[in-house]
Chain A
Amino acid sequence: MHYIREQVGLTGTHWGCDTSNCGACVVLMDGEPVKSCTVLAAMADGHDVRTVESLEVDGQLDPIQQGFHERHALQCGFCTPGMLMTTRALLDANPDPTDLEIRTAISGAICRCTGYQNIVGAVRWAAEHEAAARREA
Chain B
Amino acid sequence: MQTPAPFGYERATSVDGAIASLQRLGPEARIIAGGHSLLPMMKLRLANPEHLIDINDLVELSYIREQDGEIRIGALTRHVALLKSELLARHFPVFADAETVIADPVVRNRGTIGGSLCQADAAEDLSAVCTAVKAKVVIRGAAGERVVGMEDFHVGPYQTAVGAGDVLTEVRLPLRPGSGSAHEKVERRAGDWAIAAASAAVWIAAGRITDVGIGLSAVGLTTIHLTRAEDLLRGQAPSEDLFAEAGAIAAADCSPGADGRGPIDYKRHLVGVLTHRALRRAAARAASQEA
Q: Across the interface, do B105 and A107 meet the contact criterion of CB distance under 8 Å?
A: yes
Q: Across the interface, do B1 and A39 meet the contact criterion of CB distance under 8 Å?
A: no
Known A-B contacts A19-B44, A32-B109, A43-B56; A38 and B39 likewise in contact (beta carbons under 8 Å): yes
Tell me whether A124 is interfacial, beta carbon within 8 Å.
Answer: no
A2 to B2 Cα, complex, angstroms: 11
CB interface residues, B 9-35, toward A, < 8 Å: 9, 11, 32, 35
Return chain B residues, CB-CB under 8 Å to A34: 106, 109-110
Return chain A residues, CB-CB under 8 Å to B52: 40
Q: Across the interface, do B39 and A86 meet the contact criterion of CB distance under 8 Å?
A: no
Return chain A residues, CB-CB under 8 Å to B109: 32-34
Q: Across the interface, do A42 and B9 meet the contact criterion of CB distance under 8 Å?
A: yes
Contact with B along A100-133 (1 / 0, CB 8 A): 0000110111000000000000000000000000
Known A-B contacts A20-B39, A108-B105; A42 and B54 likewise in contact (beta carbons under 8 Å): yes
The residue that B43 contacts in the complex, of A18, A26, A86, with Cβ under 8 A, is: A18
CB interface residues, B 152-193, toward A, < 8 Å: 190-191
Tell me whether B66 is interfacial, beta carbon within 8 Å.
Answer: no
A33 to B104 Cα, complex, angstroms: 11
Distance of B59 from chain A, by nearest CB (Å) = 12
Tell me whether B36 is interfacial, beta carbon within 8 Å.
Answer: yes
Return chain A residues, CB-CB under 8 Å to B11: 42
Tell me whether B148 is interfacial, beta carbon within 8 Å.
Answer: no
Tell me whether B107 is interfacial, beta carbon within 8 Å.
Answer: yes
Contact with B along A7-51 (1 / 0, CB 8 A): 000000000001111010010000011110111101100000000
Return chain B residues, CB-CB under 8 Å to A20: 36, 39-40, 107
Distance of B189 from chain A, by nearest CB (Å) = 9
Return chain B residues, CB-CB under 8 Å to A18: 1-2, 43
Distance of B61 from chain A, by nearest CB (Å) = 16
A3 to B1 Cα, complex, angstroms: 13
A21 to B44 Cα, complex, angstroms: 13
Return chain A residues, CB-CB under 8 Å to B106: 23, 26, 33-35, 86, 108-109
Return chain B residues, CB-CB under 8 Å to A108: 103-107, 191
Distance of B4 from chain A, by nearest CB (Å) = 9
Return chain A residues, CB-CB under 8 Å to B54: 40, 42-43
Q: Across the interface, do B191 and A107 meet the contact criterion of CB distance under 8 Å?
A: yes
Distance of A54 from chain B, by nearest CB (Å) = 18
Q: Across the interface, do A39 and B105 meet the contact criterion of CB distance under 8 Å?
A: no
Interface centre among A18, A23, A35, A42 (most CB of B within 10 A): A35
Given contacts A38-B110, A43-B56, 20 further A-B contacts (CB under 8 A): A18-B2, A19-B43, A20-B39, A20-B107, A23-B106, A34-B110, A35-B107, A35-B110, A37-B39, A38-B39, A40-B9, A40-B35, A40-B54, A42-B11, A43-B35, A86-B106, A107-B191, A108-B107, A108-B191, A109-B106
Binding site for A on B (CB under 8 A): 1-2, 9, 11, 32, 35-36, 39-40, 43-44, 52, 54, 56, 103-107, 109-110, 190-191
